Amino acid sequence: MEMQRINGSYAYLHDMAVDDTGNVYVVGSFLFSPDFQVAHPGGMPYHLNSTGAHDGYLVKYDDSGNVRWAVTLGAMGSSTEKTFHIKLNHHGIYIESYTERNLILGSERVLAPGQEPTVIISRLDFCGKYIWSRGFTTHYSWHEFNDLVVDTAGNVTFRMLFRDSLDADPNPDVAHYIRRPGGNNWAVVKLAADGTYLWSFPYPGNAMIKDMTLDASGKLYLLGDF
């Protein structure tokens, strides 16, 4: 059994995933840290620099516990990104994160109008490079309850809390609003492997979606209560 430690000021671990060859991918966040250290077995720490007040990170370990690479997620002065969930398949790395600031992720800008809570779905390659990122802004979202699943074609389905309304289509030239005035509600949104919108539907706020999974044919199953 290998054990590793991540050091840093207010460093948090949020989720992990393991690929078919035993590589481990860890996501988390760190706060107000000018120099974030990922412990490198038998060597010097792997340093990450904070780009803002609160940043996400992604670290890859091999099956012996050695750090292969580590990246900071989010790139802008005073950027804020909290990284919470990760999924893998042969199409790449999929991450769900959360921000209340405008971000530049790879070559794309994710906007959080008026510093409203914005849920971000990102796809990266296995070297930690961004392929695409999509932002979904609402008046309210509890990021701890959000999650995502990925099918064999690379399509990603995620759930998120929203209040009053949500534009479920990340295309800035197209709007697909889900509206449930008066309270907190759930949305389930599906994106294609290239990040384009496929479909969405709302759940009423008195229904709690606690888990979701896909079967071998890609059918979606939701678990919750009301």
Residue 70 lies in a domain: yes
pLDDT for 148: 94
User: Which of 6-20, 28-42, 75-89, 105-119 shows the lowest per-residue confidence on average (mean pLDDT)?
Assistant: 105-119
Mean pLDDT of 172-186: 77
Mean pLDDT of 153-170: 88
Count CA atoms within 13 Å of residue 24 on its CB side. 13
Higher pLDDT, 220 or 164: 220
pLDDT for 25: 95
pLDDT for 11: 75
Residue 47 lies in a domain: yes
In residues, how long is the chain? Answer: 226
- CB crowding 178-213: b at 16 or more within 10 Å, else e: bebeeebbbbbbbbebebebeebebbebeeebeebe
Provide the pLDDT confidence category of residue 186 given band limits of 50, 70 and 90.
confident
Residue 14 lies in a domain: yes
- Answer whether 124's CB lies under 8 Å from 95's CB: yes
pLDDT digits (tens, 9 = 90+) for 42-74: 666 677 766 666 778 888 989 988 888 888 876
Residue 195 lies in a domain: yes
pLDDT for 75: 53
Higher pLDDT, 174 or 37: 174
Higher pLDDT, 71 or 99: 71
Higher pLDDT, 34 or 145: 145
pLDDT digits (tens, 9 = 90+) for 123-134: 999 998 989 988
Q: Which domain holds residue 207?
A: 6-225
Provide the pLDDT confidence category of residue 210 given band limits of 50, 70 and 90.
confident
pLDDT for 52: 60
Provide the pLDDT confidence category of residue 120 given band limits of 50, 70 and 90.
confident
Whose CA is closest to 131, among 174, 212, 192, 76?
A: 192
pLDDT for 116: 61
Residue 171 lies in a domain: yes
Residue 1 lies in a domain: no
pLDDT for 1: 43
pLDDT for 34: 45
- Answer whether 162's CB lies under 8 Å from 183's CB: no
pLDDT for 160: 87
Number of domains in the chain: 1
- Answer whether 121's CB lies under 8 Å from 187's CB: no
What is the distance between the alpha carbons of residues 225 and 209, in angstroms, rounded to a whole number?
Answer: 7
